[in-house]
């Protein structure tokens, strides 16, 4: 059985590692990007089943990543965005651009797994 | 050898000025060479340090993740976790490594919640980082103390309350501010109890930070702010007024009414603004009766209140101030008149008396 692919775009290396460990344990194949630009490359190269992206990232923001996926690649790959406190407007923009779900930081990795499973099944 | 001898002879026979120029050139050249080598050495050392830091960071990130995911379901620390704590314990004694471990823990603490956040806190205690933070509180330098309190705040260490609290009266405002933030971050509205006895000024920036911290919490059950409205500290009253406005404290209206006669003008003006947002009808009649005794700022603020709480019976009062010497009052009076009696307002543009104010009337008509 082929493992489902997830691209994780997050500039906090510790959180990325934590989520990678957790998601891989659940049987997913993880592709990690430290910024939006790397995320776009990975999305185009790997055609993932799900995208997890932070909103604020160097070079290319999470909003631009969603916009690229929905408008340029014309893809309906589910996207979950991570947002910090005070980024409520960004979250609304993310939904307007086509994000499927969001999680406010700090979040529980267990809750993320539930949301990932819900979107992928 | 002959060439060198020729150069030495040339130098000895040259005029003094030329000799001096050569000497300066040689010194500068030597200095440039030495500094270039020194710079290269520093850059190489920094690069090496950066690589080491990155390697160490990567290593300890993995260790931390391993620690977090190896926890048992009953919440007790198992052998694997003990081994990790011991490994970290050794590194914590080295300042540079301690800094990296703190930054890794803090980075993750900010991003995850629930059990994992608790585990990070446990690790903070078990690795001895907590003791290092407490040791900072005993330092004679104020900035080290402030950093120590900041760290305890970031890691949400409520246990340090008794040791941090005395710094609320520290002579340096930076330390006081960190202590105040610690109190509010840990104990929310209860943490504001320091305001009861605060004698030193609470800066505008500190007030903003405290309000921002309070807004982060889900539980918005505010405590009694009346004692702070009656404080002898002007800044505490101003902060309490912000709380009253932000948390719609209708129950303190009577205290706010008393503050309308406070000796400090700034407070009186702010009170009118707060009463405006709390629909202080009672204040309206009182201020209207004493309007001429109010300062200009209070008068402007009162017209702001009137704009929100106006009733048709206020029309004569508004009319009286349509041509007030202050532009803001004039503008507000016209806006209020337009809202309660549009016919009278439209009639103003034709009136001979209002010719000088044609532009304002035109502006209010179009808005």
Q: How far is CA A82 from the centre of its chain?
A: 7
What mean pLDDT is reported for chain A?
Answer: 92
The pairing of strands A79-83 and A29-33 is: unpaired
- The CA distance from A15 to the nearest CA of chain B, in Å, is 6
3-state helix, strand, coil in chain A (%, to 5): 45, 20, 30
pLDDT, tens digit (0-9, with 9 covering 90-100), for A47-94: 999 999 999 898 999 999 999 999 999 999 999 999 887 788 889 999
| Pairwise CA distance, residues B116 & B128, whole Å | 19
Residue B139, domain extent: 82-194
Residue B149 lies in a domain: yes
pLDDT at B6 over 80: yes
Average pLDDT over residues B18-24: 93
Handedness of CA B294, B296, B302, B306 (dihedral sign): positive
Q: What percent of chain B has pLDDT over 90?
A: 55
* 3-state SS class at A84: coil
| Total beta-carbon pairs less than 8 A apart between chain A and chain B | 49
| Residue among B57, B62, B113 whose CB faces A107 most closely | B113
Give chain A positions within 8 Å (CB) of B110.
105-106
Q: Would you state the pLDDT for residue B263?
A: 93
At A78, which CATH number? 3.40.50.2300
What mean pLDDT is reported for chain B?
Answer: 89
The conformation of residue B202, written as its DSSP 8-state character, comes to: -
Give the total number of structural domains in chain B.
1
pLDDT at B319 over 90: no
Between helix B79-92 and helix B95-109 the angle, nearest 10°, is 130
Average pLDDT over residues A43-48: 94
| Residue among B107, B112, B216 whose CB faces A109 most closely | B112
Give the total number of structural domains in chain A.
1
Give chain A positions within 8 Å (CB) of B104.
14
Average pLDDT over residues B13-41: 95
Peptide bond into A106 cis (omega under 30): yes
Residues whose CB falls within 8 Å of the CB of residue B185, separated by 6 or more in sequence, listed in order: B153, B156, B191, B213
Element at A80 (helix H, strand E) = strand A79-83
Give chain B positions within 8 Å (CB) of A25.
69
More confident residue, B190 or B1: B190
Q: What is the largest CA-CA distance in chain A?
A: 41
Residue B159 lies in a domain: yes
- Best A11, A14, A82 residue to mutate vs chain B (most B CBs within 10 Å): A14
pLDDT at B354 over 70: no
pLDDT at B161 over 80: yes
pLDDT, tens digit (0-9, with 9 covering 90-100), for B248-302: 899 899 999 999 989 999 999 999 999 999 988 888 888 888 888 889 999 999 9
- Supply the pTM of this predicted model: 0.79
pLDDT, tens digit (0-9, with 9 covering 90-100), for B108-133: 988 888 888 888 998 999 999 999 99
* 3-state SS class at A31: strand
- The CA distance from B111 to the nearest CA of chain A, in Å, is 4
Residue B123 lies in a domain: yes
pLDDT at B352 over 60: no
Residue B251 lies in a domain: no
Triad B265, B270, B274: Cα angle to 5°: 150
How many separate helices (H) and strands (E) can be counted in chain A? Answer: 5, 5
Q: Would you state the pLDDT for residue B1?
A: 62
- Best B53, B103, B112 residue to mutate vs chain A (most A CBs within 10 Å): B112
Q: What percent of chain B has pLDDT over 70?
A: 96
Residue B86 lies in a domain: yes
- The CA distance from A33 to the nearest CA of chain B, in Å, is 16
ipTM: 0.84
Residue A26, domain extent: 5-120
Burial category of A56 from C-beta neighbours within 10 Å (exposed 0-12, middle 13-18, buried 19 and up):
middle
- For residue B281, which phi and psi values (nearest 5 degrees)? -60, -40
Residue B206 lies in a domain: no
CB contact under 8 A, B110 and A106: yes
Q: Which two tokens stand for residue B127?
A: 């690795």
């Amino acid at each position: 059985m082929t493992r489902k692919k997830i691209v994780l775009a997050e500039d906090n290396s510790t959180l990325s590692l934590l989520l990678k460990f957790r998601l891989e344990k659940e049987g997913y194949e993880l592709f990690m990007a430290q910024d939006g630009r790397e995320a776009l490359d990975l999305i185009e190269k790997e055609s993932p089943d799900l995208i997890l992206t932070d909103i604020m990232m160097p070079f290319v923001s999470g909003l631009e990543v969603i916009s690229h996926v929905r408008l340029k690649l014309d893809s309906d790959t589910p996207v979950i965005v991570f947002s910090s406190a005070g980024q409520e407007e960004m979250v609304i923009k993310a939904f307007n651009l086509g994000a499927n779900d969001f999680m406010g930081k700090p979040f529980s990795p267990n809750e993320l797994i539930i949301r990932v499973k819900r979107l992928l099944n | 050898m002959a060439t060198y001898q020729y150069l030495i002879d040339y130098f000895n026979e040259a005029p003094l000025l030329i000799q001096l120029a050569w000497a300066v050139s040689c010194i500068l050249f030597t200095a440039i060479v030495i500094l270039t080598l020194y710079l290269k050495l520093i850059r190489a050392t920094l690069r090496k340090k950066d690589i080491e830091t990155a390697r160490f960071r990567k290593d300890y990130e993995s260790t931390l993740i391993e620690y977090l995911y190896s926890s048992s379901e009953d919440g007790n620390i198992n052998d694997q976790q003990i081994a990790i704590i011991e490994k970290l314990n050794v590194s914590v004694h080295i300042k540079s490594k301690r800094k990296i471990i703190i930054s890794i823990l803090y980075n993750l603490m900010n991003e995850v919640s629930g059990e994992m956040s608790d585990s990070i806190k446990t690790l903070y205690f078990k690795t001895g980082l907590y003791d290092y933070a407490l040791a900072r509180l005993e330092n004679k330098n104020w900035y080290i103390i402030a950093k120590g309190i900041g760290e305890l705040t970031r890691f949400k260490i409520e246990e340090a309350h008794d040791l941090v609290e005395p710094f609320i009266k520290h002579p340096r405002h930076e330390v006081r501010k960190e202590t105040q933030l610690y109190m509010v971050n840990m104990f929310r509205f209860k943490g504001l109890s320091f305001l009861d006895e605060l004698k030193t000024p609470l800066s505008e920036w500190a007030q903003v930070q405290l309000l921002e911290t309070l807004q982060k919490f889900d539980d918005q059950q505010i405590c009694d702010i009346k004692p702070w409205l009656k404080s002898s500290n002007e800044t505490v009253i101003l902060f309490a007024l912000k709380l009253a406005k932000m948390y719609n404290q209708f129950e303190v209206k009577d205290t706010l009414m008393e503050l309308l006669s406070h000796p400090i003008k700034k407070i009186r003006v702010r009170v009118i603004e707060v009463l405006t947002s709390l629909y202080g009808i009672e204040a309206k009649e009182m201020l209207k009766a004493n309007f001429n005794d109010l300062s200009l700022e209070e008068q402007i603020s009162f017209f702001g209140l009137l704009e929100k709480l106006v009733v048709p019976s206020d029309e004569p009062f508004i009319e009286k101030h349509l041509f007030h010497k202050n532009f803001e009052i004039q503008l507000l009076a016209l806006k209020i008149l337009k809202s309660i009696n549009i016919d009278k307002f439209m009639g103003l543009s034709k009136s001979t008396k209002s010719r000088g104010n044609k532009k304002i009337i035109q502006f209010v008509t179009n808005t």
